[in-house]
Structure 1
Amino acid sequence: MISVIHALVAVADLFVLSLIIKPFDPEETWYVGKEACFISALLLLVGISQFLIRDIIYDNPANWSFGYFIEEIKNAYLVGILFFLILLPLNFIRLNNRHIRNAQRINALSDFSKSDKSSEVFVETKLKSESLHFDIRNFLFARADGNYIEIFIEQHGLVKKNILRMTIKDLESNLASFYNIVKTHRSYIVNINHINEVSGNAQGYKLTINNSDQVVPVSRAMIDHFNTLLKR
């Protein structure tokens, strides 16, 4: 019964900490360093929680001593670190292998060169001098950079970068009617018709774009949506 109580407290701590962090740190920005910090915070919370429930489990007048406080935190880290030293590498390998396999399957089965009808797009910003006209067929990808958006457009075999003062969300709304325009990351929108190759790693996919040496990421949070669009 004591072991069950300790385990349930740890599960409750994991649930609470996940709810707290999720709104501030979406999955697409999650990587090994942040995962290690999350685990460290979780183990600290587990240690504190185990100390607070000592009176429920143990009939010991010294339950609230500083020595037991340090001991519970130390025990949480000793047990937790041993567990996660095994779990973290296994999870990294699992995600890496899965995304590599899926990327290879996409390259083998997907046709990225689907033709689209010519359609003029007008992207308007608050400053009219920064507004932009282009043919949607020539749109390669866009990347958020602070308060600006970098839009990469192909013209006569050359790639031109256009910088507009707007958010990635506003650009996404402007291009929402085009099925081939996909948001792959909180900072990237890409034209899937200009994808040259897809590669995978533990964080998701990496896209190479025609006539560009820049790599566009597909975050783990966006992979399912990206895969669904490619199957159309």
Structure 2
Amino acid sequence: MKAFISQTTPGFTFRVWAHFVETLKSPFPYYLNDDRKNTLIPAGMSIFLVVFMLVFQPYNPQKVILIGSVTFIVLFANIVLLPRLFPALFEVSNWTVGKYILFTLWQLFVDGIATAIALHVFNFHPEVTLIEKMYKVYSGVFTNGIIPIALATLVLRNQMLQENLRSAVMANRELERIRLLKEDPTHTKSNIVTIYSDTRETLSLPLSELLYVEASDNYSTIYWKNGEGVEKKMLRINLKNMESQLDNYFAIRCHRSFIVNINAIDHVTGNANGYKLGIKDTNFSVPVSRAKGKEVIEKIGQLRNVFELN
């Protein structure tokens, strides 16, 4: 039994750690991407904190209101003002679960210092030094902050899920309209595209048959429909070069490792982690990075307009 545990524990620990790291890297919304709505979040959390402390803890009401006011100022400054001062640091498309956790801990840290200083300045508990106030405040900050932080996290994740689901539904409606338009032979076009690799090897195929391209380092694998099946070919060419050769209205880079033919999208699915594009005649779904999500959804709508005008 001990031998079995010693052999399986390292592998199990590695899988747990890998899953944990992957979770930290997964997308998460930077609050609600709207200053007015983001102002309501610290307001709601501060009000909840004040009510909670008045109901469950025998604190002086003036002290409780001071703590709530400081909490609102700290949260508002961090959530609304800091992104304006450091936009690159708070890039929405790169926000992850790990960044959200670190940012939340930072806010708790700043709130504890600011609250202790405010209590000291307004002469609450003059018999206690500032350092002692900080020690006592931090125990309360983490204890009282758990519930409002948890509620805010649920609201943010649900908001992201709802937005992605709405966008996916709209995109699927547009795809259905495109399918109906393509049944009209006047909309059927076949343009040949030729891809040149770094080794002078070439691949020519109708653009309408291209499904998607998947890259790995300096190699790209092209997938296209050939009759009833799907063929693939690997060429020595990086995705940036591939993107420039497929520079047209229908091929779009949707991820750091994928280019997809908008015409080849069968359906769009959305969840709290973003979108995935189901590819026609395959069981494969192409991931969409957060930075490209809006662009892909807009392209699908624009594609329908192109077919209507032709």
Q: TM-score, normalised by structure 1?
A: 0.75
Counterpart of 2:129? 62
Give how far 1:137 is off. 1.6
- 8 Å Cα contact 1:198/1:208 also seen in 2: yes
Written as runs of structure 1 = structure 2, the 5 A alignment for 1:183-194 is 183-194=253-264
Q: In structure 1, how many angstroms separate the alpha carbons of the residues matched to 2:272 and 2:193?
A: 35
More deviation in 179-188 or 110-119? 110-119
* Conserved? CA contact 2:70–2:111, under 8 Å: no
Which ranges of structure 2 fall in alignment gaps of 5 or more residues? 1-65, 306-310
The equivalent residue for 1:124 is 196
More strand by share: 1
Structure 2 Cα separation of the partners of residues 166 and 154 of structure 1: 21
CA contact (8 A) 2:174 2:300 kept: no
Match of 1:42 in 2: 103
Q: CA deviation at 1:139?
A: 0.9
- Percent sequence identity over matched residues? 24
Specify every segment of 5 or more residues in structure 1 that has no aligned partner in the other structure, as ranges: none
8 A contact 1:141–1:189 mirrored in 2: yes
* Residues 81 and 116 of structure 1, relative CA distance in 2, 3 Å threshold: farther
- Which is helix-richer, 1 or 2? 2
When normalised by structure 2's length, the TM-score is 0.59
2:221 pairs with 1:159: no
**Alignment partner, residue 173 of structure 2:** 108
Say whether the 8 Å CA contact 1:46–1:73 is kept in structure 2: no
Residue aligning to 1:90: 155
Distance in 1 between the 2:219 and 2:134 partners?
49
For 1:62, give the aligned amino acid: T
Amino acid at match of 2:102: A
Which amino acid counterpart does residue 44 of structure 1 have in structure 2? L
- In the alignment, the residues of structure 1 paired with residue 159 and residue 78 of structure 2 have an alpha-carbon distance, to the nearest angstrom, of 25
**Distance in 2 between the 1:68 and 1:167 partners?**
58
Counterpart residue identity of residue 120, structure 1: I
How far does residue 156 in structure 1 lie from its aligned partner after superposition? Answer: 2.5
Measured in 2, the distance between the counterparts of 1:201 and 1:212 equals 21
Equivalences for residues 2-41 of structure 1 within 5 A: 3-14=68-79, 16=82, 19=87, 21-22=89-90, 27=93, 34-35=96-97, 37-41=98-102
Q: How many residues align?
A: 221
- Cα root mean square deviation, aligned: 3.2
Paired amino acid for 1:214: F
Matched, 1:223 2:293: yes
Letter in 1 for 2:164: H
> Is the 2:219–2:234 contact (alpha carbons within 8 Å) kept by the matching residues of 1?
yes
Over 3 Å counting, the alpha-carbon distance change for 1:112 and 1:140 in structure 2 is farther
Q: Give the match's secondary structure for 1:117.
A: coil
Find the partner of 1:78 among 138, 143, 148. Answer: 143
